Structure formats: C-alpha cells, structure tokens
Amino acid sequence: MVETDRLRGKKVALYARYSSQLQREASIEDQLRRCREWVVARGGVVDPDLVFVDAATSGASLARPGFESLMRRLAAKPPIEVIVTEDLSRITRDFADAGTVFKKLQYLGILLVGIADGIDTSAKHAKLTYGVKALIGEVYLDDLRDKTKRGLEGRRLAGYSTGGLPIGYRSAPVLDAYERTIGHRIEVDPDGAAVVLRIFSLYLEGRSHEAIARLLNDERVPPPRARTRHRRKGWVASTIRAILHNEAYVGRWTYNRNEWRKVPGTNARRPRPRDTAEHMVSHHDDRRILDDETWSAVQRRLREVRRFYTATADGAPKGRAAGRATTYPLSGILHCGACGAPLVISGGSSARYYRCADAKKRGTCRNNLSLREDVVRRGVLEGIADRLSSPAAIAFLRERVAHYLSELGRSATGELSERRERLERTKQRIQRLVQFVADGDDSAAVRSALRDLEAQARAETTALAALVADARAPIELPTPDQLLSKRVELEQIVATDPTRGREELRRLFEGGRLLLHPQADGSYVAETKLFLLRAFSPQTTKAEPGGSGPRATALGCAGRN
C-alpha cells in the first residue's frame, strides 16, 4: 500500500548513474522518471536543484562528480531529508564504501530509499538488508570482471582484437553469414606503419627519444590515439621508447602482461605486471611491420644506451632515486604561465635551469625562456619572507589565529554540554539497573550491563575533567617574534631537506602551483594565491584561511646572472 503522505513537506534529493559509455544516456532519464513518480505518489516534491547524476561512471568508487556534489549538499541548509535512487547499486558497488555511506546518512538522520531493491534505511532491519545488497553489488563486479576476462581470452584465441592497438595497426569488423559482427580483425595500418618505420630508422641514425618526439611534433604527425577520447597533446620521449620496445612490430603479440587494478577510493586504474608464466604469446607474421635485422639493430642500441646511462664508470649499477626524493624544492610546483605545463630541470654550463616541459620535450610551447634554479628559489623564499615579515601580515595572522581559537573554544563548550548530558543519561540508566537488582532481578545480564555502564560513566567523567581543564587554560596568541621565526624555519627546511621543503612550499600556494609568466624583457612574473596561515598548522587544508588573494610578483630574470 502506498503511503500517500510519507514525503509531504520533506526535502527530497534524487541520484541516478549509469556506468558505461556503451549504455544509453536515456538510462539516466529512465531512472529519474521512476524516482520522481515514486516521490510524487508519496506526497513529495522534487526540487530540480536536488537532482544529481553521474553518466558513464563506475560505481566501484565514490569519486564521482555528481555523487560528491550530493554529499557536499548534505551539510547545507535547509538539509536534505531523503535520498531516492533506483537501487543501491546506483549509489555504490563497493562493500566498504556502502558502509561508509550508510554510517554517514544514519548519523545525519537522512533516509535512503532504493526503489527497485526495497532498500529503506528507516526500516527495522535496514542495516542487514543494506549490507546484503551492498555485498551482492561488489560480488557482481567481481563476476563481471571474470566474465570479461574470459571473453577477451576467447577473442584473442580466435585471432580478434581485444582492445586498444599500438600505432601501426587498426581493426576491421568480421561479419558472419547474416552480416552480423562477430569480432574485429587486426590488420596493418599503412599510415601508422610508415610512422613506426620512420621512428626505428631515426633511432638507428643516432637520434634520441626526445629528439624524435620533437621532430614528429614539428612535422605535426598525429600521435597515438589522436582520434580517441584518450588523445594526447603530442609525442613525448616515453611514447617513442615504448614503440621501440614493442615486439608486436615483428609479429610477436603478448597478452595478459599486466593486471589493471583500481586505486581504492578513486576511479583511477594502475597496471601491475603479471608473472611471466601468466603471459600469453602468439605469433602473427601477417602483422609484421619490421624485418628482423632492423629490430635486432635497434634492440642492440637500446641495450648499449641503457648500459651506459644506468651504470657508473666502474660498471656498478647506478640504481634509481627514491620515488619522491628531489634535489630541487620547487620541482612539481612551478608551471609555465604560457601553456600550464610544469617547468622541469635541465642542465647548464655552470648551473641548473628550469624550462617549460612542453617546450623542451614536445616543442608545442613557444616559451623557451630558461630560469636559473637558484634564482627562482631565492626569489620565491624572499617573496614569502616579505609577506610573513610585513606588519599587515602579522596583524592578519594574529587575527585569524584568534578567530580560530575562538571557534575552537565554542566547539569545546558544545562538546562539554553534550558530554554532561550523556553522563547524566548514563547515571540514570545505572540507577534503573540498581533498582532492578534491589527488586530481585539479579541476573548475569543485568550485572554485566551495570558493569558496562559504570565503566562508561568513569570514562565520561575523565573526559569531562580534561575538557574543563582545557577550557580554563588561558588563550595565548602567537607573538610577532614567533611568527617571524617561521620564515627562518622554512628557509632551513628548504636548505637541509629539499623533499620536505617542497611539500611545505606546496601547501602555501593555491592548488600547490606557482605560475611563472615569461616577459618580453627575459624575466618571469609569478602568480599565485598565498595561504600564509598554513605555515603555522599542518592540519590547515581549507582554501580560505590565510589567503592573501591572487598576487603577481616579479621573481627574477631569465637566470643569466
């Protein structure tokens, strides 16, 4: 029976999602239509501003624009009271994420309804039903993944394409007697094959990976995947390197080389190499682009280059640097103001210089201006120091810290009140159980419950005492000397530990970036929003506190001084 007034006057939000680009976009409208009908039948009204959707997005992660907008809206006023979706799998197909969502909605007192699967978090056994449905959703993904892999292996054994192809190849549909597509045959693409042959030839002439990439970009040769949604801006050295190592060009095709795993909490997928025993290799002479002589000559040169650049003069391996270690604290922070690409370190005759990565590697940016690393480092630190040292900045920071401490005090007062009420309720329950015992109900269950409540009361009393002591402690604002000491501390960190210094500097800039705009006179002008308050609290992550607003600051010349 329909409860015609159940949603009357309530703030209702709708959520819809479909996972694959192969599905119809109308799937979203179908889901929303069903949800609207359900809401209206129960006396509710759907606000168009409270409709959230994610198209062609997997439910294996909560990192979805529409869903994230919905979660942010939960804290707004007036609050959402009910979330309606077609079924729980629209919200998530991950068991752990489902638990997180359930707990958050329960804490906020928000009802979640799944129309098709009967999810209703206000029901008596909602947690059990919800957990079972969430587990089914995750198992469905595991089963789908296994069946997809099995299908791809079948395609491979039949000689058909199983997905993306390297440059030099294309796929053509294979039809059955009824003109139905039963697979896609892999064949050589003459235009792409010509590019591959030229890359191998240029490498044998002595060109480096970077030089070949720059030449192809100068000639506007389309890079791999230029006509797909994964298109790239241009050729880079790593693409050339991958082509030179690809055995498919001599007819040796290897499948099942990597296992793709999704990074927990995101929709990003990362490859993990499989054991060589799991690799599936097949030979196809009809797909060969290179002759054995050219392939062998290129592999010999690759080995010689690798041996030269990955070993010391005495033949010992050089090894690899630590993943995030750096000698240059501004690497990864500085970006080209002309194209947005990062500035990267390159060698000079007497110093190290920053240059635009797109200009250096691809030749797609016209900013060829270089900047000495020590010049920009000194300029950035001096710019931060000037702002930390100014009377206006000191007054502003003290004001923000005072505001933060005031907010902290109000929060502590609220927590004190809440804990006192909780302790009083616990004491009342203890009194009732004591009365049970006095009346003759001296069962083991009553005794156990009484011991638990007494332990809870002791813990609440201890926590209350600590809160009262904190509340009575005097509030002290940082002195100007303490604020100024942060300048010296930051400079010492950058000088002694560049890796840590980079992370400290990154937090001070909006988005962790510092844009450098090249000027006609050979200098750069830096632009960013500086958050000085973050220098005093490692926990500060919001964009508002300490923001000095967008600034343009001349940092120095092109580095020739």
Q: Is 190 helix (H, G, I), strand (E, B) or coil?
A: helix
> How far is Cα 60 from Cα 64, in angstroms, rounded to an integer?
10
Residue closest to 131 by CA, chosen among 88, 84, 72: 88
- Residue 372 near residue 559 (C-beta atoms within 8 A): yes
> How far is Cα 160 from Cα 174, in angstroms, rounded to an integer?
9
> How far is Cα 139 from Cα 95, in angstroms, rounded to an integer?
9
- Residue 29 near residue 41 (C-beta atoms within 8 A): no
CA-based max dimension of the chain = 99
Q: Parallel, antiparallel, or unpaired for β 82-85 and 12-17?
A: parallel
Q: What are phi and psi of 515, to 5 degrees?
A: -80, 130
Two tokens, residue 283: 């030979």
Q: For position 319, what pLDDT does the model report?
A: 43
The whole-model pTM stands at 0.47
Q: For position 334, what pLDDT does the model report?
A: 93
Q: Is 56 helix (H, G, I), strand (E, B) or coil?
A: coil
Residue 239 burial class via C-beta count within 10 angstroms: exposed 0-12, middle 13-18, buried 19 and up:
buried
Radius of gyration of the chain (CA): 32
**Buried/exposed 258-288: b ≥16 CB within 10 Å, e otherwise:** eeeeeeeeeeeeeeeeeeeeeeeeeeeeebb
One-character DSSP codes across 107-171: HHT-EEEETTTTEETTSTTHHHHHHHHHHHHHHHHHHHHHHHHHHHHHHHHTTB--S---TTEEE
Q: What is the DSSP letter of 221?
A: P
- The three-state DSSP-derived secondary structure of 495-546 is HHCHHHHHHHHHHHEHHHCEEEEECCCCCEEEEEEEEHHHHHCCCCCCCCCC
- Residue that the structure tokens 């939960």 belong to: 74
Q: Is 3.90.1750.20 the CATH classification of the domain at 169-309?
A: yes
Q: For position 489, what pLDDT does the model report?
A: 82
Sequential pLDDT tens for the chain (561 residues): 467 788 998 999 999 998 765 455 568 889 999 999 999 999 999 999 999 999 878 877 888 889 989 999 987 888 899 999 998 888 888 888 888 889 999 889 999 999 988 888 888 887 888 878 777 777 777 777 677 667 666 666 667 767 778 899 988 888 878 888 888 888 999 999 999 999 999 988 878 888 899 899 999 998 887 655 555 578 998 899 999 999 999 988 887 777 777 666 566 667 788 787 777 788 888 889 999 999 999 998 888 777 655 555 555 545 443 334 568 889 889 999 999 899 999 876 678 899 998 888 888 898 989 899 999 998 888 888 777 767 776 677 667 666 666 666 666 677 677 778 878 888 888 887 777 777 776 676 667 667 767 777 777 787 777 767 666 655 555 566 766 677 778 888 888 888 778 878 887 888 888 999 999 888 898 888 877 666 665 443 343 444 544 444 444 444 433
CATH of domain 12-144: 3.40.50.1390
Residue 532 CB neighbour total at 10 angstroms: 21
> How far is Cα 70 from Cα 433, in angstroms, rounded to an integer?
44
Helices (H), 359-443: 373-389, 391-438
Q: Parallel, antiparallel, or unpaired for β 371-372 and 181-188?
A: unpaired
One-character DSSP codes across 232-255: -SS--HHHHHHHHT-GGGGTEEEE
- Residue 332 near residue 323 (C-beta atoms within 8 A): no
- Residue 166 near residue 243 (C-beta atoms within 8 A): yes
